[in-house]
A and B are shown apart, each in its own frame.
Chain A
C-alpha cells in the first residue's frame, strides 16, 4: 500500500524525536498547555492519551476497509470516545485524586487532534502492526514531552519534582510557572532550544559536506594536473 516501507523500528522511533507530537508536530496543545502544572499530572495525562492512541489505532486500522470514506471522521470519533470513556471511568475509580486534578481534560482527549490526526493520517492507511508501533511511539513521545514540561514547571513553580522538594526554601517559587502563562513560556523556550540544536546539527552537516566536496575537487584538479604533466612530458 505504501510506496516506501520503513522498518518497524523507525515506525516506533519516529514518535520519540523526529516526529514528536509536541515538539515537532505541535499537536494536542490543549492538554499540553493546560494540565502540565506538575510532573505527575503531565505523566498521567500522557499515559491516558497513549492508551487511547494505542487502542483506537488498533481498532481503526482493523476496521479501515469497513468504514465508508464519507463518514470516517464520525466513525473515528466514536471509536476514540469509547476508549476515552474507559480511561475516564478507570481513573475515577482507581485514581480519584489525579482524576480530580485533571478535571475535564480527560474527557477532552476525545477531541485531541493528536489522536484524530494519527487515526486519519496513519492508522487508516496502515496495517495493525504498524499502527500499534506508531501509537506506542507517539504515546511515549507525547508522555515524555508532557512530563518534561510538567517537571520544569513544577521545579520552578513549587520547588518540587514529583512531590519531592529539590530546591531550597530560600528559592522564591515563580508563581507564573503554575499559571497558564508559564506553560506558554516554557513550551516556547523548549521549542526554541530544540530548533537551536537542530540548526546547529544542520550547519555542522553542511560544513562537513562542503569540506568533503572541496577535498574531492582538490583531488580531481591534482590528478588532472598530473595527467597534463604526463602528456607534456
Chain B
C-alpha cells in the first residue's frame, strides 16, 4: 500500500472572493465614457475653428482650464478626493467654450466656467448631484451678467464682408421693418452662419452625436423626442402661417437646438432615468423652445428650455416610476 503513492496533482485552490453585490461589472467606467464624450464633441470644435478662426481654440482652452482649476481648488479646500481626471470638468469647460459667441472675451469665459463648476456643480455636491446642467448654468450666468458681450456675433469666415452678423434666428425675428429673413437650409446644415462657436454646424454635431448613440453613451430617446416635438409644435405654427414662421426642419438646424439636444439634454445627471420620462422631457424642451423662439422676447430659447426642464426632472422621475414586479398597478 505504501508503494502506491498517489501523486495528487496540485489542486489549485479555488479563489474565494467574498464581496457584496453587485457581482457583475460593466467594462464601462465614468472616466472612459467621459473621454469618449470629449472625442464626440471635437467635430463641433473643429467646425467652430474652421468657421470663426483659430482664436476660438484659445477661448475653449481657457474655458476648460477654468473648469478644471475650479474643480481642483474646491475639492482641495473641502478635503475631498480630487476628481479632475474623470473628465467631467473637462466636458463642462469644453461645452461652455463652445456655446459662447465667437471671439468672446477670455476673462469672461474663464469667469463663466468658474461659475459653471462652482455654482452649477460643486455647490450641489459634485458630479452626480447637480440638478442643472453645469455648462448651461455658466452660460445663463454670462447671459444675465454680460448681455451685450453675449449677443455680439462675429461673422463666419466664408461670409460676405461684415464684422458682425446676425444669427439666423435674430435675422428672422428682429428684422428692421419688413419681411422676416430666412437663411438657406444648406447654410444652416453646414454651419456657415452666425452663432455660438460650436453650435452652427449641424453636420459636425451629428457626426459627434452618431458616435455617442452607436456606443450608447447618450440615450437616443431625449434627442428623438426633441426632434419629434419640434416637428409637431414647430410644424403646427409653420402650417398656420408659413410666411412668418420658419419650417420645423430649419428650426432644428437653427441656433443651439442640435447641440443642446445631443450634448446638453442627454446629460446623464440632469435628465430623467426612465424611458417614458425621457420622452416627456424631450417633448417639454421642444415645446418651450418653440414658445420662446416664436413668441418670446429672446431669439433663442434652447438654454432656458433645457434648464427649465432640468428643474422638472425629479417630478418626471417620480411620476414615471415603473411598477415594482408583483405590485398591483
A and B: real partners? Answer: yes
Given A185-B119, A192-B123, answer yes or no on A175-B108 (Cβ-Cβ < 8 Å).
Answer: no
Q: Pick out which of these stretches binds chain B: A13-21, A124-132, A176-184.
A: A176-184
Q: How far is the CA of A179 from the CA of B105 in the complex (A)?
A: 22
Given A179-B144, A181-B144, answer yes or no on A172-B123 (Cβ-Cβ < 8 Å).
Answer: no
Query: What are 21 A-B contacts with C-beta separation under 8 Å?
Result: A172-B105, A172-B107, A172-B108, A172-B146, A172-B149, A174-B145, A174-B146, A175-B144, A175-B145, A175-B146, A175-B147, A176-B141, A176-B144, A176-B145, A177-B145, A179-B144, A181-B144, A185-B119, A188-B123, A189-B119, A192-B123
Q: How far is the CA of A188 from the CA of B122 in the complex (A)?
A: 13
Q: How far is the CA of A172 from the CA of B149 in the complex (A)?
A: 10
B105: A residues at CB distance < 8 A: 172
Q: How far is the CA of A181 from the CA of B146 in the complex (A)?
A: 13
Residue of A nearest to B78 (CB): A196
B123: A residues at CB distance < 8 A: 188, 192
What per-residue 1/0 map shows which CB atoms of A158-194 lie under 8 Å from chain B? 0000000000000010111101010001001100100
Which 10 A-B pairs give the minimum distances between C-beta atoms?
A: A176-B145, A176-B144, A174-B145, A175-B145, A181-B144, A172-B146, A175-B147, A179-B144, A176-B141, A175-B144
Mostly, the A contact residues are: helix
Q: How far is the CA of A31 from the CA of B123 in the complex (A)?
A: 25
Residue of A nearest to B79 (CB): A203
B107: A residues at CB distance < 8 A: 172
Mostly, the B contact residues are: helix
Q: How far is the CA of A174 from the CA of B112 in the complex (A)?
A: 11
B149: A residues at CB distance < 8 A: 172
Q: Which of B105, B108, B144 has the most CB of A within 10 A?
A: B144
Q: How close is B105's CB to chain A, nearest CB, in angstroms? A: 8
Q: How far is the CA of A112 from the CA of B119 in the complex (A)?
A: 29
Residue of B nearest to A179 (CB): B144
B144: A residues at CB distance < 8 A: 175-176, 179, 181
Q: How far is the CA of A99 from the CA of B104 in the complex (A)?
A: 40
Residue of A nearest to B105 (CB): A172
Q: How far is the CA of A177 from the CA of B141 in the complex (A)?
A: 10
B100-153 interface (Cβ within 8 A of A)? 105, 107-108, 119, 123, 141, 144-147, 149
Q: How close is A78's CB to chain B, nearest CB, in angstroms? A: 41
Q: How close is B302's CB to chain A, nearest CB, in angstroms? A: 19
A185: B residues at CB distance < 8 A: 119
Q: How far is the CA of A103 from the CA of B123 in the complex (A)?
A: 34
A189: B residues at CB distance < 8 A: 119
Q: How far is the CA of A174 from the CA of B115 in the complex (A)?
A: 13
Residue of A nearest to B77 (CB): A196
B145-197 interface (Cβ within 8 A of A)? 145-147, 149
Q: How far is the CA of A175 from the CA of B111 in the complex (A)?
A: 14
Q: Which of B107, B141, B145, B149 has the most CB of A within 10 A?
A: B145
A176: B residues at CB distance < 8 A: 141, 144-145
Q: How far is the CA of A176 from the CA of B138 in the complex (A)?
A: 12
Q: How close is A32's CB to chain B, nearest CB, in angstroms? A: 19
Q: How far is the CA of A181 from the CA of B147 in the complex (A)?
A: 14
B263-285 interface (Cβ within 8 A of A)? none
Q: How close is B50's CB to chain A, nearest CB, in angstroms? A: 29
